[in-house]
Amino acid sequence: MEEELSHFFGNYEPALKLLTMPRDTNSAGDISGGWIMTQVDTAGAIVASQVARCRVVTIAVTNFLFKQPVFVGDLVSCYGKIEKIGRTSITVHVEVCVQRNRFEDRCIKVTEATVVYVAVDEERRPREIPQNLKDMYIEKENSAKITERGQRT
Ligand SMILES: CC(C)(COP(=O)(O)OP(=O)(O)OC[C@H]1O[C@@H](n2cnc3c(N)ncnc32)[C@H](O)[C@@H]1OP(=O)(O)O)[C@@H](O)C(=O)NCCC(=O)NCCS
């Protein structure tokens, strides 16, 4: 079943928007899974690094689901939501939707995945995420929830 754009409002942060090109296709002419995985990884890394305020690397990917195909000319939007902040890791749930017609608002969910990133230092060693950055994230999330509740009432 198709899920539409309204699903993505709320605590999902917009991270990437791209127009698909013929060069991104597989041999059948659809956008390749590898291309979509790259965008998911990049989008999640952007969201994670904005919290960690440093370089992050991908350590694990789970629950990758390609629910609908992506075609040449689709406008692809990736959204990320922080699921968990650990000592050095940040887990991001990434959802991808497409506008088959970029001149219209209708947007359907095509892919989702959970990606775990690790904050690293210059030598690529895991680096602890400081408590003040975690607190800043929690504060931002709480104020977003209050705003959302206010908009609903
Ligand atoms: C990421 C890396 C620096 C971590 O080093 P490490 O010594 O394995 O680190 P640790 O065992 O201390 O684990 C670091 C964090 O990852 C988490 N982690 C480890 N294995 C995991 C897994 N399979 N799934 C989810 N999280 C995992 C740990 O729980 C820990 O999180 P926490 O500190 O929040 O509790 C190292 O594994 C690495 O360089 N991997 C290659 C990264 C890469 O090249 N990615 C692709 C391109 S970006």
Number of domains making up the chain: 1
Predicted pLDDT at 146: 80
Predicted pLDDT at 63: 93
Q: Which atom of ligand 1 is nearest to the CA of 125?
A: 3
Percent of residues, the chain, with pLDDT higher than 70:
93
Identify the domain containing residue 13 by its residue range.
Answer: 5-152
- Residue-wise pLDDT for 49-104, tens only, equals 999 999 999 999 999 999 999 999 999 999 999 999 999 999 999 999 999 999 99
Cα 113 to ligand 1 centroid, rounded to whole Å: 17
Q: What is the rounded CA–CA span in Å between residue 14 and residue 46?
A: 10
Mutate to test the pocket of ligand 1, among 41, 54, 59 (most ligand atoms within 8 A of CB): 59
CATH number at residue 139: 3.10.129.10
Asked if 89 contacts 128 with a C-beta cutoff of 8 angstroms, the reply is: no
Q: Which atom of ligand 1 is nearest to the CA of 128?
A: 33
Q: Which atom of ligand 1 is nearest to the CA of 60?
A: 24
* Confidence band for 3, pLDDT divided at 50, 70 and 90: low
Predicted pLDDT at 7: 46
* Of the candidates 113, 145, 131, 100, the residue with the CA atom closest to the CA atom of residue 45: 113
Higher-pLDDT residue of 11, 108: 108
Average pLDDT over residues 5-20: 76
